[in-house]
Amino acid sequence: MSNEAQQASPLKRALLALEKMQARLEAVEQAKREPIAIVGIGCRFPGGAHDADSFWELLRDGVDTVGEVPADRWDVDAYYDPDPDAPGKMYTRWGAFLDQVDQFDPQFFGITPREAVSMDPQQRLLLEVTWEALENAAQAPDQLAGSRTGVFVGILAEDYGQIHLADGGIEEIGAYYGSGVARSIASGRLSYVLGLQGPSVSIDTACSSSLVAIHLAVQSLRKGECNMALAGGVNVMLVPEPTIALSRYKMMSANGRCQTFDARADGYVRGEGVGMIVLKRLSDARRDGDAVLAVIRGTAVNQDGASSGLTAPNGPAQEAVIREALANAQVQPADVTYVECHGTGTSLGDPIEVQALAAALGAGRTADKPLLLGSVKTNVGHLETAAGVVGLVKVVKALQERTIPPHLHLQEPNPFIPWAELPVAVPTKLTPWPAAAPLIAGLSSFGFSGTNVHLVVEAAPETAAPETAAPEMAAPEIETPETAVMPEERPLHLLTLSAKNGAALGELARHMADHLTEAANVADVAYTMNTGRAQLGQRLAVTAVSTAQAQQKLAAFAAGEEVKGIAAAQVTQSDPPKIAFLFTGQGAQYTGMGRQLYATQPVFRAALDECDALLRPYLQHPLLEVVFRDPSSADDDQSLINETAYTQPALFALEYALAQLWLSWGVQPDYVMGHSVGEYVAACLAGVFSLADGLKLIAARGRLMQALPTGGAMAAIFAEETAVVAAIAPYAAEVSIAAVNGPSNIVISGVGTAVAAICDAFAAQGIKSRPLVVSHAFHSPLMEPMLDEFAAVAATVQYSPPQLRLISNVNGALAMGETAANAAYWRDHVR
């Protein structure tokens, strides 16, 4: 309890406790409603739609993907009979199918061909599409192992297991059969292959499965069970029996069209598909710089309970779930401008759904601003366990394009829907999204088992244009291959691709070249390609000054042409190479260092600004004024950068900002080390002390060294350490070894006359030396007068054992445990 609370009256203490409890309750309630960002989509839908963009083209153009059942599924002639009561027959010949569901590269996922044969194609498709969804989200799939990522998959069909048994009988059941067809493995295998350790659940609520999966993913994120979630559903039709069963229910459309809301509606057409979306809390997505495609504001799930029939739709339950979703989203009914309906196209279900929507969302609407309705089932049929996710992908793309695609096959409105009395309309042509701020849609999915779901989805929030130029510092002019320009970005970019083999790499390069547009920001493209993709064995690196040049080079590589600025290689080692960050010491500083990065890189600028702010109490002149002073200025303060009181904080700040920039690009060090001043940055990065404490230390170090008498000298002697040790022995009180830079590169430091005498002695032996331009004899006996005062400052710092491998300047070994996590170490480090 704070001193204020302890000294307050009992009534005041009670009020303070009540306020604190109220704040906690509000935080809990807010977490229950936190918006969830959709940051990635992967999908395969009928009509050759292999991603969200090609699916949007299909919707925009009003394409109906339904066709006759292909021969590779079943012999439709053998099972078809127009008589809906014919036993063992189906009265429909139609469906919306995926292509090449039998194609799969098991080794890409580390699966043996033998196991792959036993795997349900639904599991295979989920692996492929989830990988694509993660890449679409710029989340490198191979970097997620051990993460708290959840997996939620809607799945019902067990067709493949039926085929497996029919082909081989129970005698042919092998070791992989159980895992190959089990629905629980659909989610579990995704978690296993990617190493994910969040919740992993397979859901079967029939037609509402994938939207229930997304609802559960949203809940899991809001509860903090996972930090990212993969959610969606899959449906593949391989055997005729389910269609025969649905024919007995009279649910199938005899004419092969989903004619939702039409008087001719006679049922639905079954469809195949798979869709997975990548979800994060909106606050996390913004923090991570993710591209937000849309936002899920609210979700709700309920059940019909006892109603007119087990599989019959229940209007009051549908209305209730919509109202619950609105409440969860904190959205008013009139704010919703479009609803993607369940819309199966049945004479009973369509009127019930429209009336429920009107009851829940119709208040306050006028005839000229109706609630717009549509159903993707008119394009791709009913994807059953993937029906919800295909509707969500449609909604996301419609929100992005601010356009509602045409609803098909509506010629004669269903007479059982009182259209004139309800504030609803169905767009049958490409329609601009009605002006509203923000754009909000609803999405319904109802399972024939009675489980109902509704989502409230909002267009992605507008983001500010990325910063490119510092407010006070103009970027310097630099030369590009075209001309001298004022750069908004670095002048040359590195783009990387990787694949499992050379052929795949060429195909990937061609695909990238085809999809890159000149409007794309080359820096954004490079960042996504470099950090948002798995790093596979066959690799390609391309340098480019623009998106157009990258496109040209990728196309040339795909065509087998030799092009300058391209490197391709096969990485054979299984373990990635180790990376070390090395931070330099004094002597490398100059006025204007980091100026271009400060002007073009927001991460670098933010880090340098933070250091500048933290150093203000310790420096007479602000750091940025010293570092970025005009080099041509005749100002007397021009030399400040070379005064150790400023040199040391300036180098620390610059190197810290550089490290943050590398980290933002996805480059993570395995080891850190620094030369003299640089070790302070290395220790800060390793977590030995905070940035604030590190800057306090380095400022005190520079100030105390600056206060020492000038004089002394340092020199690099190009001889072995043993020879140098012997040479300085007579001068032990005046000279010491400051650094061992290499086997034959030893730096000595101390009294100027003694250093000169030692260098002369080596010169007489024909051994070269080089004096260093320094203001003081660092790491020498001349530093002794400042040690106690510096140790007192170091004692005020809070230390922790390094979280990265930190190599010590003092002894050249790893600084394990408390080795560098104490004031005495940093006192000795000065000397």
Catalytic residues: 207, 342, 382
Residue 762 and residue 738: Cα distance in Å, rounded?
Answer: 17
Report how many helices (DSSP H) and strands (DSSP E) the chain contains, helices first. 29, 27
E-only strand ranges, 282-377? 294-303, 338-340, 371-374
Residue 598 and residue 471: Cα distance in Å, rounded?
Answer: 10
| Cα–Cα nearest to 500, from 446, 534, 461, 536 | 536
Residue whose entry in the numeric block shows the structure tokens 């933002």: 664
Contact of 107 with 222, CB cutoff 8 Å: no
Long-range contact set of residues 16-24: C-beta below 8 Å, sequence gap at least 24: none
Provide φ and ψ at 609, rounded to 5°. Answer: -65, -40
Planar angle of CA 665, 667, 668, nearest 5 degrees: 135
Residue 296 and residue 395: Cα distance in Å, rounded?
Answer: 11
Give Cβ neighbours of residue 397 (< 8 Å, ≥ 6 apart). 52, 53, 55, 56, 59
In angstroms, the Cα distances linking 331 to 297, 298, 302, 400, 481 are: 8, 9, 19, 20, 53
Residue 725 and residue 231: Cα distance in Å, rounded?
Answer: 66
Provide φ and ψ at 273, rounded to 5°. Answer: 165, 165
Whether the upstream peptide bond of residue 709 has omega within 30° of 0, thus cis, is no
Distance of CA 602 to the CA centre of its chain: 19
| Residue 519 CB-density burial (10 A; 0-12 exposed, 13-18 middle, 19+ buried) | exposed
Residue 311 and residue 296: Cα distance in Å, rounded?
Answer: 28
- Report strand pairing: 566-570 vs 338-340: unpaired
| Residue 595 CB-density burial (10 A; 0-12 exposed, 13-18 middle, 19+ buried) | middle
Instruction: Tokens for 730, please give them.
Output: 């007579």
Contact of 734 with 751, CB cutoff 8 Å: yes
Long-range contact set of residues 527-531: C-beta below 8 Å, sequence gap at least 24: 527/138, 527/665, 528/138, 529/495, 529/496, 529/497, 530/494, 530/495, 530/496, 530/665, 530/666, 531/138, 531/140, 531/665, 531/666
Sheet bearing 671-674, strands edge to edge: 580-583, 671-674, 805-807
Provide φ and ψ at 661, rounded to 5°. Answer: -65, -45
| Cα–Cα nearest to 59, from 390, 392, 406, 384 | 406
